[in-house]
A and B are shown apart, each in its own frame.
Chain A
């Protein structure tokens, strides 16, 4: 029987929740990296034992962690615990994210737009999202704040910026959202390894078709009434994007407000919020086996980051958007004022697709039946920042 491993990043450490295919009896391990913010923790689709974690702190900055045994033990890549230190300088620097400003890479870029409209230097703050390669366990992408995309080809030991993204031309017009100027979403196209989609708050979505050398904004059709030009090429606060691996040209987006859909690899978008009670939110994901089945968690508004009327409810569309149904069996239906953040929803790939999400109140909910019923795996973790799922043989 298959098993699932749910990787949970929280404000105060990482947790690993494990169950068999029934998904009823759970084992909770952690906290790993106790006291640190774990923005994201994700396993390699090629080698499930390989897991990467972004460990951050306002005091001590960025740390990268890697496990090669499914989360039992961890190391900072290149500096394993217990290894005698080598000669100076160290052989690697797994937490060194330095923006490429070299003339050789063609497009040195040093500033972006600040809150007051002035230009502000790019300053590395943290890794928001880690996306392991679909083909190589040693390759992993990192989406960082201030927004940029990095790649490691040696298991996280050394990082190089994919500088064509910041350098493609619109970078000086990007500006931070309330949560910072973060590159939070990375989608790798399984049918075309040269195609990558990313999203930035508050710049928008971007695509490369040549492995990262060149990029273009893909924001046509987005309408954001809170920016001076509501249909601007960049400046939209995209909260998350998702795709089904069988149809990588079809994208779904939870924007600040509005749930959006693209059927042409992001060239154009149309709104599919339909009958949602509110179309503000952060998380969005796609069923593992039904590419037209979507999940969102509507949040009341950008001023009140909690469920409408205190009722925590997932909404599912089985028609690729527009028509949505509430899924609330097992979820709190009164006095619930948590949020569900952008990377805090995931699905497993068992025959009956499991859906998972975590809340800022520390609950992680699981549905073993595609959203029909829900139960908490844990209720009292620190605020949940991210949830990922591994389906194991």
Chain B
């Protein structure tokens, strides 16, 4: 079980109140978690990754276990604490703008 924490506006889009819990096939990577997230909540497609390039949207970041995973390959395996559900994957919106 993977735990994912969404930013406020994406929680509203998905209609969830708090963190999301997902099953993702091993090896658990950013790509597999985001694929599972979008399969469970299709309204989030395009809001985290660009439809065409599949690149992370520039004002979003991925944190896990106090590490920034945003610029890692999406196919790198996430920490064991995330795959075991002890720590969440955090999707963070940039703190900027008016």
Is A61 in the interface zone, CB < 8 Å from B?
yes
Is B24 in the interface zone, CB < 8 Å from A?
no
A53-82 at interface with B (beta carbon < 8 Å):
57-63, 76, 78-79, 81-82
Q: Say whether, besides A81-B15, A93-B51, A98-B51, A59 and B43 are in contact (CB < 8 Å).
A: no
- Number of chain B residues whose Cβ lies closer than 8 Å to a Cβ of chain A: 25
Q: Contacting chain A: which of B25-33, B34-42, B70-78, B80-88?
A: B34-42
Is B10 in the interface zone, CB < 8 Å from A?
yes
Q: How far is the CA of A88 from the CA of B42 in the complex (A)?
A: 9
Residues of A within 8 A of B40 (CB): 85
Q: How far is the CA of A97 from the CA of B51 in the complex (A)?
A: 8
**Contact assessment for B59 and A58 in the assembled complex, using a CB-CB cutoff below 8 Å:** yes
A89-144 at interface with B (beta carbon < 8 Å):
90, 93, 95-98, 124
Checking B7, B43, B57 against A61 with a beta-carbon cut-off of 8 angstroms, the contacting residue is: B57
Q: How far is the CA of A309 from the CA of B87 in the complex (A)?
A: 59
Residues of A within 8 A of B39 (CB): 85, 88, 90
Is A36 in the interface zone, CB < 8 Å from B?
yes
Question: Which of A59, A81, A88, A98 gathers most chain B CB within 10 Å?
Answer: A59
Q: Say whether, besides A60-B9, A85-B40, A98 and B52 are in contact (CB < 8 Å).
A: yes
Checking B38, B41, B45, B60 against A59 with a beta-carbon cut-off of 8 angstroms, the contacting residue is: B60
Checking B42, B47, B51, B52 against A60 with a beta-carbon cut-off of 8 angstroms, the contacting residue is: B47
Checking B45, B52, B57 against A95 with a beta-carbon cut-off of 8 angstroms, the contacting residue is: B45
Shortest Cβ distance from A84 into B: residue: B40
Checking B15, B46, B93 against A93 with a beta-carbon cut-off of 8 angstroms, the contacting residue is: B46
Q: How far is the CA of A61 from the CA of B46 in the complex (A)?
A: 7
Residues of A within 8 A of B42 (CB): 78-79, 85-86, 90, 93
Is A330 in the interface zone, CB < 8 Å from B?
no
**Contact assessment for B57 and A63 in the assembled complex, using a CB-CB cutoff below 8 Å:** no
Min CB distance A95 to B, Å, is 5
Shortest Cβ distance from A76 into B: residue: B43
Is A35 in the interface zone, CB < 8 Å from B?
yes
Residues of B within 8 A of A79 (CB): 42-43
Min CB distance B48 to A, Å, is 8
Checking B15, B45, B97 against A90 with a beta-carbon cut-off of 8 angstroms, the contacting residue is: B45
Shortest Cβ distance from A98 into B: residue: B52
Is B94 in the interface zone, CB < 8 Å from A?
yes
Checking B13, B41, B48, B59 against A63 with a beta-carbon cut-off of 8 angstroms, the contacting residue is: B13
**Contact assessment for B57 and A60 in the assembled complex, using a CB-CB cutoff below 8 Å:** yes
**Contact assessment for B45 and A63 in the assembled complex, using a CB-CB cutoff below 8 Å:** no
Q: How far is the CA of A304 from the CA of B45 in the complex (A)?
A: 39
Q: Say whether, besides A36-B9, A79-B43, A82-B15, A59 and B94 are in contact (CB < 8 Å).
A: yes
Question: Which of B38, B39, B45, B93 gathers most chain A CB within 10 Å?
Answer: B45
Min CB distance A74 to B, Å, is 11
Q: How far is the CA of A379 from the CA of B46 in the complex (A)?
A: 35
Q: How far is the CA of A78 from the CA of B97 in the complex (A)?
A: 30
Q: How far is the CA of A76 from the CA of B9 in the complex (A)?
A: 14
Min CB distance A58 to B, Å, is 6
Q: How far is the CA of A62 from the CA of B10 in the complex (A)?
A: 12
Q: How far is the CA of A81 from the CA of B57 in the complex (A)?
A: 23
Min CB distance B82 to A, Å, is 22
**Contact assessment for B46 and A59 in the assembled complex, using a CB-CB cutoff below 8 Å:** no
Q: Say whether, besides A59-B59, A63-B13, A95 and B46 are in contact (CB < 8 Å).
A: yes
Min CB distance B25 to A, Å, is 12
Add 6 more A-B contacts to A59-B94, A60-B13, A79-B43 (CB < 8 A): A60-B47, A61-B57, A76-B13, A82-B15, A85-B39, A97-B51
User: 10 A-B pairs, CB-CB below 8 angstroms?
Assistant: A57-B9, A59-B9, A60-B47, A61-B46, A76-B43, A78-B42, A90-B39, A93-B51, A95-B47, A98-B51
